[in-house]
């Protein structure tokens, strides 16, 4: 009879991957929640296009954090992405409360992207020596975040 093992990879590999993908997961959860908050409270010009784009950002962030979290779990470790943990440990700044004009929403969301990209770039760099499969996941997340950030930045036209 096969032995049921929690870790499917070496403990060092699983721990190393979790060390760098867990902050990515938390920042992506914060990005998705804050993008949805912005989506609901957006006012001003380009409302429809920004409103719809913020839904796209939310969807991309959710897909990315699910993929990153599943990688950690697939290696045999749990991931703490409870709301209280995300609120305490995510690097994303808290956006303005209530209704906001599009300029403020765009500025806040660019800060959200930059914070999230910080943890993702750190994961890409550090995972190079630990696990190329996990690094590939982080690289794909970085690519999508950079594209979404570019699309958002284009709304301010400077």
Mean pLDDT for each consecutive 10-residue tract of the chain (158 residues)? 61 95 98 97 92 97 98 96 96 93 95 98 97 98 98 84
Domain coordinates in residue numbering, the chain: 11-81+96-153
Q: Kindly indicate whether the domain formed by 11-81+96-153 is annotated with CATH number 1.20.1260.10.
A: yes
Look at the chain and count its residues. Answer: 158
Contacts of 40 (CB under 8 A, 6+ apart): none
Q: Cα(36)–Cα(32) distance, rounded to whole angstroms?
A: 6
Question: What is the value of pTM for the model shown?
Answer: 0.94
Report the pLDDT value the prediction gives residue 1, as an integer from 0 to 100: 42
């Amino acid at each position: 009879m096969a032995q049921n093992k929690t870790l499917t990879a070496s403990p060092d590999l699983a721990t190393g991957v979790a060390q760098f993908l867990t902050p990515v997961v938390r920042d992506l959860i914060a990005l998705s929640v804050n993008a949805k908050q912005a989506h609901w409270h957006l006012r001003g010009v380009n409302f429809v296009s920004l409103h719809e784009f913020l839904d796209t950002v939310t969807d991309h962030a959710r897909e990315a954090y699910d993929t990153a979290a599943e990688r950690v779990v697939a290696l045999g470790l749990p991931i703490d992405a409870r709301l209280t943990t995300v609120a305490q440990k995510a690097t994303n700044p808290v956006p303005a409360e209530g209704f906001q004009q599009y300029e403020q929403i765009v500025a806040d969301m660019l800060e959200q992207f930059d914070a999230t990209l910080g943890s993702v770039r750190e994961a890409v760099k550090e995972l190079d020596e630990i696990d190329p499969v996990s690094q590939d996941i982080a690289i794909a997340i970085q690519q999508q975040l950079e594209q979404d950030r570019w699309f958002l930045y284009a709304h301010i036209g400077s």
